[in-house]
Amino acid sequence: MSHCLIQQTREKSREVFAVVKERIVTTQPCSVIEEVQQGGQLGELLSFCGPKSTQASVKENSSLHKDSNVSLEIPAHTVIAYGIIELEIKLNGHYELCLMSDTLGGFEVDGPVKKSLVGVSGARDDTPKKSFFQRELEKLRGHFQLLSVLPADTRSSLLQLLKTTMEDREAVSVLESVLDQMCTGKTADLGEVKEASQMQTVQAILNLLEHSDSSPTRSLLSDSSQTPSLLSDSSQTPTLLSDSSQTRSLSDSSQTRSLLSDSSQTPSLLNATHLIISAMDGMTDECLSVLGSCCSPPVLQALQILVQHVAAGSGETLSLSDAGLAVLTEEELYQRTESLFGHSEVTLKREEDTLRTEMKDQPGYLPIVMSITVKGLASLV
């Protein structure tokens, strides 16, 4: 905390530290050209020709026309956009990832104790990281319970729609953006949904949420030019990862709020669905692809057992002879499961008929977003 960079940043209340989670990189050289045309009136006749990038002339009517072309060459392998996760730096030097879209990074200030953030510890301390992991999942229990008590046909339909969404990474991001708008009290703009298949899936999920949620709703409009609005109080909305395309103003971390830490909040179906989609959006492409092939009820139930075991951090082994894990004796399914956990910074080891999980050092947010997605989907089985 005594490093000069830390000290300089702390003096600027609107600056924060962040972790880059994704980048958009050019694969080949490209150029951007801006053409600007301007007109004006002059009282005398003249004409001249400047550099190639700028031309100006005055005709007999004393009207000046100026064309200016500005060209920018961008080489290959250049980062042109990126998404970040902000950090909240504690007074003791430890930090947490701000996984909630409404939670902004910054430095902890002296004063009353604030509610804890929903994040992942990014520095070593005396508290076991797995114990922290378990506490964060427990905060979300209400959302998973709400999903599990839905009518069977609703759960089945929602699970199938989410599985379809997982097959298209762009569809996941689009749906997350739409739900985030509605969760924050805004009307959803479906104009950003470009593909017909994406529109069909997004509309189906919105219709399902509208007709299934018990809280007051307003009718959805099927016309994408309209801006539908759907259910629930925005003050109780969880979200994990903000859309990298969004630009959020930064403020002191003492002004942020952690919604999930308040047990008095009542989850809604919209919030719970948004939670799952936000977690999906935070997963790697490889993780999302593998999980999409593991959405049968028996496999999801087995994955949920493994996730709970990882969160508990007991270090004990699990038996493949247990009814819930027996499906993983099939080699192909085990390989998929091992890949899913591996891409989420969790090691899955098999020794004869037993399984053991081990979280890698400094795993970041990947284990928790994978676990939230798995538990959310398993709640729909």
* pLDDT per residue as tens digits for the range 310-333: 888 767 789 888 889 999 999 999
Beta strand extents in the chain (DSSP E only): 18-25, 30-41, 47-48, 54-58, 63-74, 79-89, 95-97, 106-107, 318-319, 346-351, 354-359
CA gap 238, 263 in Å, rounded = 12
| For the chain, percent of residues with pLDDT exceeding 70 | 67
Q: Which residue has the tokens 């003096």?
A: 11
User: What digits encode the pLDDT tens for the residues 327-361?
Assistant: 999 999 999 999 999 999 898 888 888 998 888 77
Residue pair 327/292 in contact by the 8 Å Cβ criterion: no
User: Which run of H or of E encompasses 307?
Assistant: helix 297-312
Lowest mean pLDDT among 65-69, 82-86, 115-119, 186-190: 115-119
* Cα–Cα nearest to 105, from 5, 224, 225, 250: 250
Give mean pLDDT, residues 92-98: 78
What does the pLDDT average to over 6-24?
A: 75
Q: How far apart are CA 232 and CA 266, in angstroms?
A: 10
Choose between 34 and 208: higher pLDDT.
208
